[in-house]
Structure 1
């Protein structure tokens, strides 16, 4: 990861600006649109991808050896803001002491949160995408069995959204 130090003439303070990262560079070399948004506390690249480019980026990362989807989750930026789907990928191998990792984030409009499913690349996305659908209402297009996994089938709404209003009463039918 390269960093560039810049100094502001106005206040004399120094800032570090992120220039590039090896995974982002590999995606850029393939002509895949994305944005490197920074590093997490473990120096893992966080890459933002538009929904229409997710499958191309995911396939490229899989082809580069990122063979394990360690985590997929949905998230809510806040009431009125976007929803998101995050993918934490790892390049597993027999000899890797600290395998390379990358985090992909896809931001989605709250009123129509649709993103292609990565199930066909990493089968571990199956239940993880279903949970994000169940809790946030994110539609994973192409998922083979996108149904609720935690909430009852007739549940109304998406309980992990920050603007969710908890119902005063929910009748459990056929619970006896």
Structure 2
């Protein structure tokens, strides 16, 4: 799947996830419909740039609501925050819990870092995948550290939606 920014539109759910965090857009510069007034002058400037720290929470909001971050959703968030798409893409691809590709709403993140690997994480993955099988609606993802090393092997189940649901499984 190629990611094309600018020509993709966010879904209503994606737009709602961003708007729930940021509030409704106030001008076309941040995602509202264009008015004649918007064609004459731009608003936002420093105030818009001061909201850049909301990029990561915005990515979480989209991923939590929908289960992945589409090009349209990423473009909408970038427009709302006046953040370059390349910068947002870099952040979104850095974090292992985010996906830029469609996947089922339920994802089971199984930690495969050193402590969990030594405690049998690969066997956990194999057992879960064989029990669930294809078409189960659950995506098993091998993930970096979940911060539960003392309880290895650890897994985190996330069900996207409103509200998002999470559960930790560790012995």
* TM-score w.r.t. length of structure 1: 0.25
Give 1 or 2: higher helix fraction.
2
More contact order relative to length (CA 8 Å, sep ≥ 6)? 2
